[in-house]
A = this chain, B = another copy of it.
């Protein structure tokens, strides 16, 4: 790693936010119960319940995103049901078939900017209901969204309320993957809060791994009865931490003194400066992504040249020959990093 190389490839390239590392160090020699029954985990649960305005919510700490998605989806679906997702949804593409490994089909819908709509879900449910052969098909049993989406875009409160209403009227579960939720919450145009998620969803997770923790995702079931025996299902999925405190201490830190908000704001502030610079310098952004991921379309030569200086993520090839690269900011991005990136652009 040379000194002048810039790192914008993703939001999980460093360790943890220093405030988290500090808490892990301070508590290191304390004795606690295992499996998330320790007081730090309990404290983190309380803080998350408060932040979500969901005093009765059940909160569980798992390790990573794919694991969390597979475990929650298996817990909420019955055997004859599948999960509806955008064709670009993480569970549909980048989880190596983890949902199918658990026995469930992902029912994909076409996406726009990584999102699906209430109307699409309604048509999907209606088509299933009208199908004379529906008993030979997989029943749509829940909807999976990510906020922000895999394209860095956001569901508005209005969109989420419509999706929630469709799910409730169709007796389907609504589940939101919040791997990068800190960045959604910190985006100025976002109008979906944690209490909104708790009010509108049957389950969601508050991402830790990509939002400043070493690892960890906090699953929230606003109404715990929806997921009976979830602890055992977590264990069965190999998702139970023996030292559950490792996640608990981190989420306790993230929900103390507004750290989760700070993590998000740092990344969004940096991303907004980069987006402004891209616009100013005439770069093309193929998607309107307001969160911590910025997509830029470059000719191959430019992409190559820039990549020598800046570590970015490859996103996709466009049909016109250009390549889309992803620039991601995080809690760890400094003002100097952004200055230097803008200079390099």
A residues near B, CB below 8 A? Answer: 1, 7, 10, 12-16, 18, 21, 24-25, 27-34, 63-71, 74-75, 78-80, 82, 93-106, 132-133, 135-139, 209-210, 214-215, 228-229, 231-233, 235-243, 245-246, 311, 314, 332
Contact = CB atoms under 8 A, between A and B. Distances in A.
A33 to B, nearest CB: 8
B101 A97 contact: no
Contacts of A106: 105
B104 A97 contact: yes
B229 A243 contact: no
B235 A332 contact: no
A201 B71 CA distance: 31
B105 A235 contact: no
Nearest to A69: B238
Contact of A241 (B137, B215, B228): B215
Most chain B beta-carbon contacts within 10 A, residue among A64, A100, A239: A100
A29 B95 contact: no
B237 A238 contact: yes
A71 to B, nearest CB: 7
A233 B101 CA distance: 10
Contacts of A136: 94-96, 232, 235, 240
A130 to B, nearest CB: 9
Contacts of A28: 14-16, 18, 21
A59 B74 CA distance: 28
Contact of A98 (B214, B235, B242, B311): B235
Contacts of A132: 314
Nearest to A32: B13
A43 to B, nearest CB: 14
A132 B35 CA distance: 13
Contacts of A12: 34, 242-243
A97 to B, nearest CB: 4
Given A18-B28, A214-B214, 19 more contacts: A12-B34, A13-B34, A14-B30, A14-B31, A15-B27, A16-B28, A21-B24, A63-B63, A66-B238, A67-B239, A80-B232, A98-B237, A98-B238, A101-B236, A105-B106, A132-B314, A135-B231, A136-B240, A215-B241
A246 B31 contact: no
Given A12-B34, A25-B25, A209 B243 contact: yes
B13 A229 contact: no
Nearest to A16: B28
B97 A80 contact: yes
B236 A79 contact: yes
